[in-house]
A and B are shown apart, each in its own frame.
Chain A
Amino acid sequence: MSLQHETTPATGQMTPTRQPSLIKRWGLSGEWLVSSALIYIGFVLFVAVFGFLFQPYPHTQTDLFNQLAPPVFMGGSWTNILGTDNLGRDVLSRLIKGVQLSVLIGVIGTAIGAVLGSFLGIVAAHFRGWIEEVLMMLVDVQVSLPFIIFALAVLAFVGNSLTILIIVVGIDGWERYARLSRSMVLSANQKDYVLAVRSLGLSNFKIYHRHVLPNIMGTLIVQATINLPGVILLESTLSFLGLGVQEPMTSLGQILGVGRDYLILAPWIAVAPGMVIFFLTLSIAIVGDWLRDRLDPTLK
C-alpha cells in the first residue's frame, strides 16, 4: 500500500512544500531551539505588557549631564544599566517603552494584513468572474507600487497618528495573503473531499469553515510569521524616515534611528534595540516553522 502513497504524494496536502522544516534540516533536535524561541517571545510579550512596572525612569526623562553614558558591561554605572543616549535618556527605559509600541504595531498590523488579505483572496476564489479580476488587479497594483512611496503619500495626505500608522503597516503584505489564499482555495475547491461534502449538501459556509480553512490555515499562519518581522521592520523604516512613530512616543525602530548617528561613539544605543528586533524576528520564524509542522497531521 505504500505504493499508493508514492504514486499520489501531493493529494490532500495543502502546504506548498513537503520538505522537512528548517530546524530539522539544520540537524538540530529542535526542541531546545523552539523552547528558547518561545521563551524569548514570551519574555518580549511580557515586557510589552508589564514592562512599565519595572521601568527605571520615564522614557522621556533627559539628563544632560549624563549623555552617552556606557552600559554596565562596558564600564558604566548601575544607574543606567544599558547606558544613556544623546540626551541622557535611559536606554533600558526607552527600550521597554519601544518594545511595547513595536509589538503592538507589529501584531495588530500583521493581523490586519492577514485577515484582510486572506478574506479578499477567499472572496476572489469563491466568486470568480469579475470580482476575482478586480481583486487580482488590485493585488497587481499593490505589488507594482513601492510600498514606502505609498506609505509616504498616505501619511503626508492623511496626517500622522498611531492609528493611521498601524493601518498603513497593516495594509503592507495583504496582497501576499490574498494571492496565497486565493490559489489555495481554488485548489481546495477542486479537491475530492470538498466535492464529497458538497454532494452531501453541506453549506458553503461550513465547507469553508470545516474543510477548506483548516487545510489552508497552516500556510497562512506561516505567511503571517514571515510577515510579522517585516511589519516591525517597516515600522522601523518609517520611523527612521521620520514618518513613523513621533516623539515623545518611541519604538524600537525610532531608537535605532537615533542610535545610527552615534554608532561609533555610543554603539549601545543602536545595538540594544537591534538585538531585540533580531532575536524577535528569528524567534518568530522558528516558532512559525514549528507551528507549520504541528498544524499538519501528515507531517507528524
Chain B
Amino acid sequence: MKKAIDTNTKAVKPEILMEVRDLVRHFIGPRTSFFGKRKIAHAINGVSFDLYAGETLGLVGESGCGKSTTGQLILNLMEPTSGSVTFLGKDITTLNKQEWRSMRREMQLVFQNPLGALNPRLTIGSQIREPLDIHNIGDADERNAIVLEMFEAVSLPPHLLERYPHQLSGGQQQRVVIARALIISPKLVVCDESVSALDVSVQAQVVNLLVDLQKKLGLTYLFITHDLSVVRHISNRIAVMYLGRIVELADSETLLENPLHPYTRALISAVPVPDPRARASRATIKGEPPNPFNPPSGCAFNARCPHADDKCRTVLPDFRELAEKHMVACHHAEALVGNQKPNLS
C-alpha cells in the first residue's frame, strides 16, 4: 500500500492571521402554521479553522452548504449566532462600531457577480476611489494617484476610469471590483465565487492576477468556490464544507491526491477530465444535500454516502486530525486511506 499521507511539514509554524472557532449561525424559518414553532436552519454548525498570513485557503462545497455564509460571518456582514473569530489578536465578534470602522480596512470582499457589485450610476474611477474617501486616506491628488496606481496594478487602461460599469466587459468589471477591494491594502481578502461568473479564459487571467497581487501585497485569501479545478490552482490549503460543517481540511496537494472523506472523493471525481475515454471508476453521489431545517442524525452525509453504516446514522463524527495537518470528519476515514484513489489528472 502506498503511503497515504503526505507528511512534508514545515519547521517554522506560520503566523496565524485569523482564528475561527465553533462558528454557528442559525436562520429562523417562516412560521408554518399560526401556532406552530418557527423552524431553525443550522446554516453554519460549528466551523473552526485557522488562516495563516499569506496563504490562500480554498473553501469548497455544494451550493447551500454555507460557504458564502462563512465568508460573510468572518467579515461581520452577518452576526454569528455563537462562536468566535479572532483577527489580529482581537475577537472581532465583540467589536463596537468605532473599532469596526478601522477593522474594516483590514478585510475586504470580492464578489461573485462583478456587475452587481458596482453601482451602475457611478463611474469606475469614483467607485475605486470610494474606499479612500470613506477612510480619509490622503488628499484629493494623492487619492487620484493611488487610484491610477491600483488601476495599473490590475492592468486596466486609464481611459476606463471615466466609464460606467455596464460599458466594461465581465473580466474588466471583476478587475475593478478587485481594485476597489485592494486599494486600502487589506490583510485579508474573501473571494466569494469571484471567478465563477467569468468565462474560462478570463477566469484564468483573474486567478493569475489574484496570485500576482498576493505576492506583491502579501495578501491572505479565503477563496470560496464550488469549482475544484479553480481552487487547486490558487489554494495552499483546501477546506471542504458539507451542510454547515467542514468535513475535511488539508494542504491542497494532500487533499486532492489523498482525499479521506467520501464527500471530498465524490467532489473530486465530479471534476470533468478532458479525456472522453477516462470515464470509468467515478465515485458519484446521488440525491441532494439534506434540508438544513431538518438535518439527518449522525453524519450529515450518511444518506448519500456509499460507506454509511449504523454508526454514521446515529453518531456525529468528530473533526479530527487523522494525519499531520490533515483533518477529517468521518468514522471510516482510516479504512478509506489510499483505497480507490480518484482519477484526477
Contacts and interface: CB of A to CB of B under 8 A. Distances in A.
Nearest to A2: B169
Contacts of B173: 4
Contact of A11 (B116, B122, B130): B116
Contacts of B177: 196
A11 B113 contact: yes
B166 A192 contact: no
A201 B109 CA distance: 12
B121 A215 contact: yes
Contacts of A8: 113, 115-116, 197
Contact of A201 (B101, B116, B170, B202): B101
Contacts of B172: 1
Interface in A208-243: 210-211, 214-215
Given A8-B197, A11-B115, A12-B116, A200 B130 contact: yes
B170 A12 contact: no
Given A200-B104, A214-B121, A12 B77 contact: no
Interface string B157-172: 0000000111001111
A196 B114 CA distance: 11
Contacts, number: 95
Contacts of B100: 201
Contacts of B127: 193
A128 interface: no
A193 B116 contact: yes
Contacts of B166: 5, 12, 297-298
Nearest to B101: A201
Contact of B116 (A192, A199, A202, A215): A192
Given A12-B165, A200-B104, A4 B77 contact: no
Nearest to A11: B116
B104 A215 contact: no
Interface in A5-25: 5, 7-8, 11-14
Given A4-B170, A198-B77, A298 B101 contact: no
Contacts of B135: 200-201
Given A3-B199, A4-B169, A197 B120 contact: no
Interface in B65-124: 75, 77, 100-101, 104-105, 107-109, 111-113, 115-122
Given A4-B115, A12-B120, A201-B134, A196 B199 contact: no
Interface residues of B, number: 41
A192 B121 contact: no
A291 B170 CA distance: 28
Contacts of B117: 192-193, 195-196
A295 to B, nearest CB: 9
Interface of chain A: mostly helix, strand, loop or mixed:
helix
Contact of B169 (A1, A191, A196): A1
Contact of B134 (A4, A13, A202): A202
B180 interface: yes
Contacts of A12: 115-116, 118-120, 165-166
Contacts of A192: 111-113, 116-117
Contacts of B184: 200
B120 A4 contact: no
A216 to B, nearest CB: 10
A193 to B, nearest CB: 5
Contacts of A3: 170, 199
B109 A195 contact: yes
B108, B109, B173 — most chain A CB neighbours (10 Å): B109
B308 interface: no
A298 B77 contact: no
A7, A11, A197 — most chain B CB neighbours (10 Å): A11
Nearest to B163: A297
A255 to B, nearest CB: 43
Contacts of B197: 4, 7-8
A201 B130 CA distance: 11
B148 interface: no
B325 to A, nearest CB: 31
B121 A297 contact: yes
A210 B134 CA distance: 12
B229 to A, nearest CB: 20
A1 B171 contact: yes
B218 interface: no
A11 B117 CA distance: 9
B198 interface: yes
Contacts of A198: 77
Contacts of A298: 120, 164, 166
A11 B170 CA distance: 13
A191 B127 CA distance: 15
B131 interface: yes
Interface string B125-150: 00100110011000000000000000
A193 B170 contact: no
Nearest to A194: B119
A285 to B, nearest CB: 24
Contacts of B199: 1, 3-4
A215 B77 contact: no
A196 B171 contact: no
Nearest to A295: B121
Given A8-B115, A195-B117, A199-B77, 16 more contacts: A1-B199, A4-B173, A8-B116, A192-B113, A192-B116, A192-B117, A193-B118, A198-B77, A199-B75, A199-B108, A200-B184, A201-B100, A211-B122, A214-B119, A215-B121, A298-B120
7 contacts: A11-B113, A12-B166, A193-B127, A210-B122, A214-B121, A297-B120, A297-B164
